C-alpha cells in the first residue's frame, strides 16, 4: 500500500512539473527585438559562427539573459523525470512517456545555447551563475561544454567567485565521462593558490586511462606546484604521452616538458628523439622545448655531432680521424696530410639547440670529395 501511494505521489509530482514546464514554455515566449524568444533560440547553430556571435553580442545583456533562461528552463522537471521514470512499473511508464514532455527533446536546443555561451567567452560573465547551474545538469554533454566555458570565464572572475566553483570542478574530475574530466583538469589550472585542495586530486588524475586527461592534469599540477609534479612523476608520464600516435596529444606533451624544464636527463633525450620523428608537429614542438634546456641540449648536441663525425672520419678525406673544432657555429675538420693540395677543411652544419641533430658537410675545400 505504501509503495503504491509513493508511486502515485511521484506520478502526480512529475505530471505537475510537466504541466508547469509546458505552461512556462508557452507563457514566456515574449517578443524580443522584433522576434519571439523561441524564434531567436531556434535560430542558434551549434558550431561557431562569426555572424551569429556578432548578432548575439549586439543584443547585449538582454540577449545573455534570454540564453540563461533557456538553459535553466525545465531543469527541475528534467531531473525528476530522469530519476522517476525508470523506477515506475512498465505499463505506467509507457503511458506517462506518451503524455509527458520528454527532456531529450530539449537536448539539441540546450546544447546550442551552452555552446553559444562558450563561444561568447568572457562576454558571458553576466550570466555565469546560469552556466554554474549547468555544471550540475542531467545531460553530460551540457555539463562538458559548461565546464569548457570556464577556460575563459575564470580569467575575469574574482577569487571568491572562483572559490565557490572549485568543489564542482573537483567533483567533475572524478566523472565517468572523459570529456568532463578533461575540461575539469583545464579549469583546475586556474587555481595556483589552492594547492592544498587541488594537488591531491590532480596527482590521482595522473593515472587516468585517457592520455589527454593525464596530460592536462599533469599540466595543471606542474603549474600549481612544480615540485609536487616532479615528485609525482609528471616528466616520465609526459615522455610516455610524447610517444602517443595522436599528435594532438603528443605535441602538447613536448610543450609541457619544455615548460617544466625539470629532469633534463630524462626530458632532453626524449625530446631529441621526437625531433627526429616523422611527425612535423611533434618534432617542431620538441625542438622548441629543447630551447629551454640550453645547457643540457648543447651537451647532447655535441655528443650527437661527435657520433656523426665518427662516420665522416671513416670516409675520405678524414681517414686520419683528426680532431674536430667548433668555429663560428660550424664544426671544422682538417686533414693534416695535405693530399697534395694543402690542408683539407670541411665545414659541417649543426643546430646548436639540437633541433636538427643531423651533421652534413656543406663545404669541402681543396678538390677532395667524400665517398
What is the arithmetic mean of pLDDT over 201-211?
A: 97
Does the pLDDT of residue 271 top 80, yes or no? yes
What's the whole-number average pLDDT of the chain? 78
Beta carbons of 259 and 222 less than 8 angstroms apart:
yes
Confidence of residue 229 (pLDDT cuts 50, 70, 90): very high
Whole-angstrom Cα distance, residue 253 to residue 270? Answer: 11
DSSP symbols for 301-351? HHHHHHHHHHHHHTSTT-TT-PPEEEETTEEEEEETT-TTSS-EEEEEE--
Confidence of residue 352 (pLDDT cuts 50, 70, 90): very low
What is the arithmetic mean of pLDDT over 225-237?
A: 97
Higher-pLDDT residue of 195 and 293 is 195
How far, CA to CA in Å, does 279 sit from each of 237, 251, 274, 288? 20, 9, 8, 14
The proportion of the chain whose per-residue pLDDT surpasses 70, expressed as a percent, equals 70
pTM of full prediction above 0.85: no
Higher-pLDDT residue of 322 and 236 is 236
Is the Cα dihedral 315, 318, 323, 325 positive or negative? negative
Half-sphere exposure of 39 (CA within 13 A, CB side): 7
Higher-pLDDT residue of 153 and 316 is 153
pLDDT number for residue 296: 64
What is the arithmetic mean of pLDDT over 104-110?
A: 80
Residue 259 phi/psi, 5-degree rounding, is -65, -40
pLDDT number for residue 277: 82
Cell digits for 309? 663525425
Higher-pLDDT residue of 321 and 291 is 291
Does the pLDDT of residue 105 top 90, yes or no? no
What is the arithmetic mean of pLDDT over 122-148?
A: 95
Mark 120-158 as b/e (b = at least 16 C-beta within 10 Å). beebbbebbebbbebbebebebbbbbbbbbbebbbeebe
* Angle at the Cα of 266 from the Cα atoms of 262 and 271, rounded to 5 degrees: 90
Confidence of residue 303 (pLDDT cuts 50, 70, 90): low
Does the pLDDT of residue 353 top 60, yes or no? no
Lowest mean pLDDT among 61-70, 112-121, 178-187, 360-369: 360-369
Amino acid at each position: 500500500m505504501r509503495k503504491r501511494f509513493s508511486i502515485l505521489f511521484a506520478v502526480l509530482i512529475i505530471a505537475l512539473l510537466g504541466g508547469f514546464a509546458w505552461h512556462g514554455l508557452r507563457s514566456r515566449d515574449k517578443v524580443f527585438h522584433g522576434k519571439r524568444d523561441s524564434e531567436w533560440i531556434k535560430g542558434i547553430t551549434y558550431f561557431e559562427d562569426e555572424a551569429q556571435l556578432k548578432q548575439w553580442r549586439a543584443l547585449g545583456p538582454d540577449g545573455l539573459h534570454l540564453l540563461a533562461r533557456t538553459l535553466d528552463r525545465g531543469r527541475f522537471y528534467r531531473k525528476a523525470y530522469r530519476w522517476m521514470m525508470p523506477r515506475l512499473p512498465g505499463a505506467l511508464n509507457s503511458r506517462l512517456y506518451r503524455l509527458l514532455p520528454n527532456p531529450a527533446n530539449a537536448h539539441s536546443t540546450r546544447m546550442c545555447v551552452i555552446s553559444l555561451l562558450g563561444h561568447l567567452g568572457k562576454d558571458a560573465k553576466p550570466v555565469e551563475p546560469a552556466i554554474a547551474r549547468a555544471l550540475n545538469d542531467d545531460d553530460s554533454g551540457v555539463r562538458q561544454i559548461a565546464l569548457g566555458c570556464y577556460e575563459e570565464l575564470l580569467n575575469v572572475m574574482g577569487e571568491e567567485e572562483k572559490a565557490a566553483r572549485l568543489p564542482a570542478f573537483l567533483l567533475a574530475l572524478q566523472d565517468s565521462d572523459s570529456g568532463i574530466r578533461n575540461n575539469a583538469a583545464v579549469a583546475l589550472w586556474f587555481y595556483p593558490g589552492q594547492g592544498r585542495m587541488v594537488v591531491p586530486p590532480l596527482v590521482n588524475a595522473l593515472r587516468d586511462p585517457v592520455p589527454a586527461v593525464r596530460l592536462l592534469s599533469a599540466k595543471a599540477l606542474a603549474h600549481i606546484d612544480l615540485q609536487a609534479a616532479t615528485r609525482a612523476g609528471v616528466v616520465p608520464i609526459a615522455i610516455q604521452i610524447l610517444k602517443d600516435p595522436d599528435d594532438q596529444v603528443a605535441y602538447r606533451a613536448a610543450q609541457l616538458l619544455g615548460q617544466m624544464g625539470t629532469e633534463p636527463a630524462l626530458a632532453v633525450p626524449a625530446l631529441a628523439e621526437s625531433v627526429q620523428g616523422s611527425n612535423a608537429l611533434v618534432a617542431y614542438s620538441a625542438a622548441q622545448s629543447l630551447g629551454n634546456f640550453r645547457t643540457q641540449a648543447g651537451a647532447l648536441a655535441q655528443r650527437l655531432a661527435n657520433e656523426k663525425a665518427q662516420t665522416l672520419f671513416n670516409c675520405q678525406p678524414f681517414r686520419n680521424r683528426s680532431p674536430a673544432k667548433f668555429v663560428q657555429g660550424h664544426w671544422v675538420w682538417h686533414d693534416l696530410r695535405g693530399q697534395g693540395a694543402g690542408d683539407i677543411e670541411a665545414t659541417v652544419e649543426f643546430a646548436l639547440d639540437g633541433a636538427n641533430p643531423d651533421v652534413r658537410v656543406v663545404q669541402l675545400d681543396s678538390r677532395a670529395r667524400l665517398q
